[in-house]
């Protein structure tokens, strides 16, 4: 959520930075400013009335103590004024509450401001490629290359038809070595991240509405999540939601920062708006597994911690020897809550292109304001909002897809197991 004070003091600057998102949405700040002004006026009026009411209460007590007749004209006049003030306050308070709710609703619908260092652009075509890694591993031969779902079906490790029978489209079942490979990837990723300082969390995969509100999925993206309507619970779209919200409404000690967590969870997404896209394979499923990285840090350290987070996700791809590139997203392609974001895109041989496998975002204080996560430094007054960051480390299904396509040997019909996974799987080939 954006800082209302910033909007009040610099509306033109905030408007200009929102417009850099280039989404075609009109982020009109005037309704927010108008309601904020009205709410501020109501608040000031209430404060004055409450102050006068308190003053009258004290004055009555003082005068009676000095000998005034409790039923006399002077005391009765003061009591009538006090009663009138109470009526005014009773009428004013719900008005102020309604204005605050309207203001909160409008603020929750605004996306984050792009970081000043984020490239300006209209859409994904304006994203900036930062680096490529692993060109030496790119497949030179084209003959015999298959898409990963065909490789998986040939090996009997991916069963789409049975997944659809059990659930619906965009669900799959992993069989035999496919299930073992998924489990091996989860264990491998967690061990690597724990080894560089992340603390493992196994959070709930059902969360309440306040949690989704805190990280920005609600209210704007309700249609993209699966809801258990009778219980005010939602299946998580990513571990970012429960892990970040572990600290909702808390004031942390400065010494606790940075907080660094990794978490494996199943994830669930409706994939609203993706009709007809990636209908086969492991790229765009309603249910998928992912290892997530989450950080809570001091504001002045978030830029450096962001670069480290990206490198931690890259390290997994490098260890698996999967070719990839890093792309910095432009303002027009940023996610709703991100101020700055890097995508890691892995090479898929059959498509002869790179596909996203991790999105590493710095949210600045956007999520922390929504979730009310602050920290306090000893000896100093007041609190500050933390900066939150997260990224996939990595999406398991997409990693498996990349392994199947990049390690497939057309001559034998087998898939070589990456060296770093061979001890986990106890085999060299699938």
pLDDT tens readout for residues 136-162: 877 666 677 899 999 999 999 999 999
- Fold for 4-108, please state it: Helix Hairpins (1.10.287)
* The overall pTM is greater than 0.95: no
pLDDT reported for residue 143? 72
Confidence check: pLDDT of 23 > 80: no
| Structure confidence at residue 7 as a pLDDT band (50, 70, 90) | very high
Question: Binding site annotation covers 239?
Answer: yes
Question: Binding site annotation covers 274?
Answer: no
Question: Binding site annotation covers 238?
Answer: yes
DSSP result, 200-221: EE---SEEEHHHHHHHT-TTTT
Q: What is the mean pLDDT of residues 268-277?
A: 77
Pair 409, 416: CB distance under 8 Å: yes
pLDDT reported for residue 272? 67
Q: Locate the domains of the chain by residue range.
A: 4-108, 124-425
Strands 374-376 and 384-385: antiparallel
Residue found under tokens 């719900």 = 94
Q: What is the pLDDT of residues 72-123, one digit of tens each?
A: 888 889 999 999 999 999 999 999 999 999 999 999 999 999 999 999 999 9
Rounded (to 5) percent helix, strand, coil in the chain: 45, 20, 35
pLDDT reported for residue 141? 61
Confidence check: pLDDT of 257 > 80: yes
pLDDT reported for residue 140? 60
d(CA 292, CA 317): 14
Angle between helix axes 396-406 and 148-155 (nearest 10 degrees) is 80
Question: Binding site annotation covers 361?
Answer: no
- Fold for 124-425, please state it: BirA Bifunctional Protein; domain 2 (3.30.930)
Question: Binding site annotation covers 93?
Answer: no
Q: What is the mean pLDDT of residues 405-426?
A: 95
Percent above pLDDT 90 for the chain:
87
What is the distance between the terminal CA atoms of the chain, rounded to a whole angstrom?
Answer: 47
Question: Binding site annotation covers 230?
Answer: no
Question: Binding site annotation covers 271?
Answer: yes
Question: Binding site annotation covers 255?
Answer: no
How many Å is the Cα radius of gyration of the chain? 28
| Structure confidence at residue 271 as a pLDDT band (50, 70, 90) | confident
DSSP result, 389-419: EEEEEEEHHHHHHHHHHHSEETTTTEEBPPH
pLDDT reported for residue 138? 79
pLDDT reported for residue 274? 65
Question: Binding site annotation covers 248?
Answer: no
Question: Binding site annotation covers 269?
Answer: yes
Closest residue by Cα to residue 260 from 193, 206, 166: 193
Question: Binding site annotation covers 292?
Answer: yes
d(CA 418, CA 429): 9
Q: What is the DSSP secondary structure assignment for residue 283, as one 8-state letter?
A: S
Task: Report the range of poorest mean pLDDT among 211-225, 272-286, 308-322.
Answer: 272-286
Confidence check: pLDDT of 198 > 70: yes
Question: Binding site annotation covers 109?
Answer: no
Backbone angles phi, psi at 349, to 5 degrees: -60, -40
Strand order in the sheet with 227-228: 206-208, 233-235, 227-228
Name the average pLDDT for the chain. Answer: 94
pLDDT reported for residue 135? 85
Which structure tokens are listed for 201?
Answer: 């969390």
Q: In the Cβ-directed half-sphere of 252, how many Cα atoms lie within 13 Å? A: 21
Q: What is the DSSP secondary structure assignment for residue 429, as one 8-state letter?
A: B
CA atoms 198, 202, 206, 211: torsion sign = negative
The SS3 assignment for 152 reads helix
Q: Which residues contact 31 (CB under 8 A, 6 or more apart)?
A: 106
Q: What is the mean pLDDT of residues 47-52?
A: 93
Q: What is the pLDDT of residues 335-386, one digit of tens each?
A: 999 999 999 999 999 999 999 999 999 999 999 999 999 999 998 999 999 9
Strands 324-328 and 128-133: antiparallel
DSSP result, 33-51: HHHHHHHHHHHHHHHHHHH
Helix (H) or strand (E) holding 287: strand 287-297
Q: Chain centroid to CA 257: how far?
A: 19
For the chain, how many residues are written?
A: 430
Q: What is the pLDDT of residues 67-83, one digit of tens each?
A: 888 888 888 899 999 99
| Structure confidence at residue 22 as a pLDDT band (50, 70, 90) | confident
């Amino acid at each position: 959520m954006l800082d209302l004070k910033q909007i009040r003091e610099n509306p033109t600057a905030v408007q200009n930075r929102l417009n850099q998102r280039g989404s075609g949405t009109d982020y009109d700040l005037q309704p927010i400013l108008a309601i904020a002004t009205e709410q501020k006026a109501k608040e000031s009026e209430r404060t004055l009335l409450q102050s006068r009411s308190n003053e009258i209460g004290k004055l009555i007590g003082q005068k009676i103590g000095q000998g005034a007749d409790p039923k006399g004209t002077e005391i009765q006049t003061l009591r009538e004024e006090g009663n009138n003030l109470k009526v005014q306050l009773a009428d004013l308070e719900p008005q102020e509450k309604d204005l605050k709710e309207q203001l909160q609703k409008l603020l929750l619908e605004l996306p984050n401001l792009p970081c000043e260092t984020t490239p300006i652009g209209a859409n994904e075509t304006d994203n900036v490629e930062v680096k490529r890694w692993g060109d030496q591993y790119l497949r030179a031969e084209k003959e015999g290359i298959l898409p990963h779902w065909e490789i998986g079906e040939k090996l009997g490790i991916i069963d789409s038809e049975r997944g659809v029978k059990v659930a619906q489209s965009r669900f799959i079942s992993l069989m035999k070595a496919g299930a073992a490979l998924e489990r091996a990837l989860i264990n491998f990723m967690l061990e690597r991240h724990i080894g560089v300082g992340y603390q493992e969390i196994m959070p709930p995969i059902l969360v309440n509405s306040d949690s989704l509100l805190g990280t920005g999925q609600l209210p704007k993206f309700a249609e993209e999540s699966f809801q258990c309507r009778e219980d005010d619970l939602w299946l998580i779209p990513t571990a970012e939601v429960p892990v970040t919200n572990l600290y909702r409404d808390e004031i942390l000690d400065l010494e606790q920062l940075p907080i660094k967590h990794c978490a494996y969870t199943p994830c669930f997404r409706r994939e609203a708006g993706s009709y007809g896209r990636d209908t086969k394979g492991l790229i765009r499923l309603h249910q998928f597994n992912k290892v997530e990285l989450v950080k809570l840090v001091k504001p002045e350290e978030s830029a450096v911690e962001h670069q480290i987070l990206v490198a931690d996700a890259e390290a997994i791809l490098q260890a698996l020897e999967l070719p990839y590139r890093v792309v910095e997203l432009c303002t027009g392609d940023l996610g709703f809550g991100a101020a700055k974001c890097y995508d890691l895109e892995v090479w898929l041989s059959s498509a002869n292109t790179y596909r996203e496998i991790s999105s590493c975002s710095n949210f600045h204080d956007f999520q922390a304001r929504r979730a009310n996560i602050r920290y306090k430094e000893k000896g100093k007054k007041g609190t500050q909002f933390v900066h939150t960051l997260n990224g996939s480390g990595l999406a398991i299904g997409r990693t498996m897809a990349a392994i199947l396509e990049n390690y497939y040997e057309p001559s034998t019909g087998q898939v070589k197991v990456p060296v770093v996974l061979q001890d986990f799987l106890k085999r060299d080939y699938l």
